[in-house]
Amino acid sequence: AALLEAERVSFTYPDGTRALQHVTLSIPEGKKIAVLGPNGAGKSTLFLHFNGILRPQEGCIYFAGVRINYSHKALTDLRRQVGIVFQDPDSMLFSASVRQEISFGPLNLGLGREEVGQRVEAAMAVTGIADLQDKPTHFLSYGQKKRVAIASVLAMEPRLIIFDEPTAYLDPRSTREVMALLADISSQGKTIILSTHDVDIAYTWADYIYVLARGQVIGAGTPAEIFSDA
């Protein structure tokens, strides 16, 4: 069954940029979906629709079969279920220490101290940053900040996790580490969307690929289907 669906979603920014035009796609639960496209294709704009930060000007979004109606409750629920790891980790880090950063979301959900502690430990273990927990986030390397940002989203335990260009600006070793981490997360049954302009990453990692260009879906299929047309 589809966890998330977009149906003929269109969005134009106030300056007239047509970022999305009649985008229709379906994200099946438990799968690894790549959104492949060059810079400016509309990937980030699409993701902001997936957790309700942007509202479609035309068309609609469904989560778990329910059409999002943009009530306060619907948006709160959607943001709990759909976590986004943004490309720039600095845009996501606010707190003094790594542990505080990762605790922030779960505390905000009103969870008890013990539950928060367990989630934070688990998220730090998966991302390999337990030994950084008392460090101030602004002293970390770029790769370390990236992991803290991922851990913060994991600790919210969303059903769908979106990674916006997770390997951008990473060297080959860090890229392999991030992809291994995504494989771990996916093996725990999470639904994952990854955006990339890297054809090799989409081809080797994804169960299913949507190709986006100039705000439109110009291709969809399994890696074998997408790359056999060439």
For the chain, helix (H) and strand (E) counts, in that order, are 8, 10
Minimum Å gap between C-beta 134 and ligand ADP is 17
Minimum Å gap between C-beta 81 and ligand ADP is: 22
Nearer of residues 94 and 142 to ligand ADP, judged by Cβ:
142
Binding site for ligand ADP (CB under 6 A): 13, 15, 17, 19, 37, 39-45, 141-144, 169-171, 174
* Cα-based distances in Å from 90 to 53, 81, 146, 214: 19, 23, 9, 27
Angle, helix 113-127 to helix 98-108, in steps of 10 degrees:
130
Closest residue to ligand ADP, based on beta-carbon distance? 143
Cβ closer to ligand ADP: 116 or 161? 161
* Cβ distance to ligand ADP smaller for residue 21 or 118: 21
- C-beta of 73 vs 173, nearer to ligand ADP: 173
We find the least distance from the C-beta atom of residue 222 to ligand ADP, in angstroms, to be 22
Token reading at 184: 């771990």
- Using the minimum distance from each CB to ligand ADP, give the nearer residue, 157 or 164: 164
Tell the smallest beta-carbon distance from residue 131 to ligand ADP (Å).
Answer: 13
To the nearest whole angstrom, how small is the minimum distance from the Cβ of residue 70 to ligand ADP?
20
Q: Residue 229 CA to chain centroid, in angstroms?
A: 28
Which strands form 18-28's sheet, in the order they lie side by side? 18-28, 2-12, 58-63, 66-67
- What φ, ψ does residue 180 adopt, rounded to 5°? -65, -40
CB of 133 to ligand ADP, least distance (A): 16
Between 76 and 141, CB nearer to ligand ADP = 141
| 8 C-beta neighbours (distance < 10 Å), count | 13
Report, in Å, the least distance between residue 194 CB and ligand ADP.
12
Residue closer to ligand ADP by CB (options 24, 141) is 141
DSSP for 89-157, written as a single string: GGGT--SSBHHHHHHHHHHHTT--HHHHHHHHHHHHHHHT-GGGTTSBGGGS-HHHHHHHHHHHHHTT-
Count other Cβ atoms within 10 Å, centred on residue 90: 12
